Structure 1
Amino acid sequence: MEPLFCDTALALRIERAEAEFMAACAVAAKARGADPRGFTMRVGGGVANFVEAGSPFNKVAGLGFAGVPDAVLDEIEQAFAAVGCPVEVEVSSLGDAALGVRLTERGYRLVSFENVLGRLLSDVPTYPSDVRPSPDDELPTWLDVVVEAFLHADVEGVTAHEQFSRTTLETAERDQVTTAGTVRYLAWREGTPVGGAAFRAADDGIAQFIGAATQPAHRRSGVQTALLTARLADARAAGCELAVVTTRPGSRSQHNVQRAGFQLLYSRAVLIREERQADTTFRS
């Protein structure tokens, strides 16, 4: 497979898709009755999301490609402070490096990294026989399989900077896999579901691979490879040209997707600014 080079233009496409996915998750959360104070602000070409306390979708994504005035950062910080939530910002290594400097000056601290990998869909392996799309009436089963697997995550690679309860994980997974254009999958072994995953056909030809997890007893047996293969085939059939996945650096998930032909495109730095008192000026 030829090397896949990621320039700033491609990173912008991917980050825009990620920002729109965050916004779609907020819509799904609102539909199920999440915190009525929830908001999605479109800022600097990205989005600032608050869904509810503890949600992994409480973040700012897609910044660093269209300029972010200090007044916009003030507005973001004030909105999160009003709901008592720290501000978490994801910054692409291919975005404007000045953004990271400004965030640090404003009191943000680096807490983690994540890797973004991609694979062109010009060719895909044969569809596996032990994976199939999971219909809507199977959603409870899909959630049980994936959430249980996430609660017993592999420990390889960089440690996650945050941990979530079963309830929070189940709610977040439900929000992201009920967004428009998302297809869920289950992998089966002898009539038992042992792993799950999903993909979302985003705008601009990008397929976002999400929600992949395998039950502990069935790891290292090709389940994730099968789930990747099925999604690659269906993403190509849906007209997508590039599959994208986000992993923790050095994780088993990164190892699996690289074996399936994904290549490292860039990293994101994750920075957090803790909640301040209501009378703060939001200036450093």
Structure 2
Amino acid sequence: MNRLELARRIERIKAEGTSAYIRHRKQTPPYEGAELHVEGKGHVFKMGNMSFAVGFGLNRPTSFYDLHQMEKWVRGKNVSRLHIEVCPLAEDSLLRLLQERNYTLDHFLDVWTLDLTQHASTSVPTQVEKVKDETLHEWAYAVAAGFAESGTILQETVDTAKGFYALPSNHAYLVREEDAVVAGGILATQDGIGELFLTSTVPTYRQKGYQTQLILERIAEAKALGCNLLTVTTKVDSASGRNMERLGFQPFYQKAVMKSPILK
């Protein structure tokens, strides 16, 4: 498989997983997330007060009209900016179009891969458990606590974790210290590719190797489920990225997240 086709598959698993999540959440109103699917080109999502676009420039070219309609849709959702994730393998015409529309760089994201056909399994003592319905709430609460940078655990983050847990293609894991759930994460699988995401540790329990345990457990599970590749997206120069590199993941590409001017 060439690099472009692999990038398409990686971006597709993220887009289709987010799409399935939004459809699931909409079954239990009120939920204000939404999706715009530009046929054959990419997806635009609205989640909370953010909007982001995935997959554009990797298949059919994105036109001025496409971008105008995307911005119009975002504006109609009362979101002030559109963020577009741009893969370096995307057509150059996409970046030129964004420059013409005065988009600017917001940040970068690292995309990592692990070839499971070449990966030697590592057996280590682990405190990882598969999440069950009876442990769902404490797992979701722990995941939300790990993402609570201000120290305030948001109910929406708890609900987000529960929503992703509910999808049939997702497998959720937790780490318990004594009676407390202190870390968690998800493995999503699609067409032989697994994606690790929604991984966090409660701040007071960090630096104890729990992320390593979660990564190794999900590597083993992905292999057992027949995946031949794992992918994960991290912030640039983050502890998560360094964990991935230490455990054998290779950098595949770095995405530029471009932001629109304020949409009025």
Q: TM over 0.5, yes or no?
A: yes
Say whether 1:169 aligns with 2:157.
Answer: yes
Residues of 2 paired with 1:69 and 1:128: CA distance?
52
Shift of 1:232: 0.5
Please list the CA deviations of residues 28-82 of structure 1 after superposition, one character each: whole Å capped at 9, or x if unmatched: 221232446833323443211224x425xx3110111121122211211111111
* 8 Å CA contact retained: 2:88, 2:255: yes
Say whether 1:147 aligns with 2:134.
Answer: no
* 8 Å CA contact retained: 1:44, 1:63: no
Residues of 1 paired with 2:49 and 2:168: CA distance?
23
* 8 Å CA contact retained: 2:22, 2:33: no
Shift of 1:132: 1.2
Say whether 1:222 aligns with 2:209.
Answer: yes
Q: What is the match of residue 211 of structure 1?
A: 198
Say whether 1:256 aligns with 2:240.
Answer: no
Q: Kindly report which structure 2 residues correspond to 1:107-122, keeping only aligned pairs within 5 A, or say none.
A: 107-122=102-117
Select 1:62's aligned residue among 55, 58, 70: 55
Say whether 1:73 aligns with 2:67.
Answer: yes
Residues of 1 paired with 2:130 and 2:10: CA distance?
25
* 8 Å CA contact retained: 1:43, 1:68: no
Q: What is the match of residue 46 of structure 2?
A: 50
Q: What is the match of residue 76 of structure 2?
A: 82
Q: What is the match of residue 195 of structure 1?
A: 183
Shift of 1:240: 0.9
Q: Kindly report which structure 2 residues correspond to 1:99-110, keeping only aligned pairs within 5 A, or say none.
A: 99-110=94-105
What secondary structure is seen at the aligned counterpart in 1 of 2:26? helix
Instruction: Specify every segment of 5 or more residues in structure 2 that has no aligned partner in the other structure, as ranges.
Output: none
Residues of 1 paired with 2:17 and 2:238: CA distance?
23
Alignment length (residue pairs): 259
Please list the CA deviations of residues 225-280 of structure 1 after superposition, one character each: whole Å capped at 9, or x if unmatched: 10001101111111111111110000000011111111110011111114433xxx
Q: How well do the aligned residues superpose, as a CA RMSD in angstroms?
A: 2.2
Say whether 1:38 aligns with 2:34.
Answer: yes
What secondary structure is seen at the aligned counterpart in 2 of 1:31? coil
Q: Percent identity?
A: 27
* 8 Å CA contact retained: 1:47, 1:62: yes
Q: What is the match of residue 19 of structure 1?
A: 15
What secondary structure is seen at the aligned counterpart in 1 of 2:55? strand
Residues of 2 paired with 1:137 and 1:179: CA distance?
16
Runs of 4+ in 1 over 6 A off after TM superposition: none
Q: Kindly report which structure 2 residues correspond to 1:236-247, keeping only aligned pairs within 5 A, or say none.
A: 236-247=223-234
